[in-house]
Amino acid sequence: MDLQRRRVVFALPTKLASRYRVERDGDTFLWNAGLIKALHEHMNMSLAEFARELGVRQQTVSEWETGAYAPTRATSKHLTLVAERAGFGYGADL
């Protein structure tokens, strides 16, 4: 708490403080490595459980999270639905 500047700063636990940026193409959110990792952490699932929830292979999620490749547009829409169902917040500007 910084009383002189009249400011209070809240810190998230390191595990939940994943940094990610959100991009859109029209009405579709473009899921990148950081955003997928943040959703995965938010859902508090193992990689295998998270992959099963998404209906993809565990290796696929791993490759998304490392940035080896990005999800397709159709998969991005599915990720958005899963995120909404899980109560995952993208940010106030969306």
Identify the CATH class of 23-85. Answer: mainly alpha
Q: Single out the residue of 25, 23, 24, 40 nearest to residue 83, CA to CA.
A: 40
% of the chain with per-residue pLDDT over 90: 62
- The whole model's pTM is what? 0.74
Q: What is the pLDDT of residue 74?
A: 92
Is the model more confident about 81 or about 2?
81
Q: Report d(CA 46, CA 53) in Å as an integer.
A: 11
The mean pLDDT of 37-57, rounded to a whole number, is 95
